[in-house]
Structure 1
Amino acid sequence: MSDLRKTQMCARGSRAFFSAQGWDWQEFLKNGIDIEIVESANDAMAQQVVEYVKNGREQ
Structure 2
Amino acid sequence: MTRIILQDLRAARYCLAGVRPWFQRHGFDWQDFLDHGIASERLHTTRDALIEPVIREAETREATAAAHRSPEAFDGRK
Could you state the TM-score of these two structures normalised by the residue count of structure 1? 0.83
The count of corresponding residues between Structure 1 and Structure 2 is 57
Q: What percent identity do the matched residue pairs reach? A: 35
RMSD: 1.2
Q: CA deviation at 1:29?
A: 0.4
Q: Which runs of 5 or more structure 1 residues have no equivalent in the other structure?
A: none
Report if the CA contact (8 A) 1:3-1:49 is conserved. yes
More strand by share: 2
**CA–CA distance in structure 1, aligned partners of residues 46 and 18 of structure 2:** 15
Q: Distance in 1 between matches of 2:56 and 2:7?
A: 14
* TM-score (normalizing by structure 2): 0.65
Q: Is contact 2:8-2:55 (8 Å) kept?
A: no
Of 20, 27, 30, 2:32 maps to 27
Which stretches in structure 2 are left out of the alignment for 5+ residues?
1-5, 65-78
- Larger Rg over CA atoms: 2
User: Which residues of 2 match residues 16-55 of structure 1 at below 5 A?
Assistant: 16-54=21-59
For residue 44 of structure 1, give the secondary structure of its aligned residue in structure 2: coil
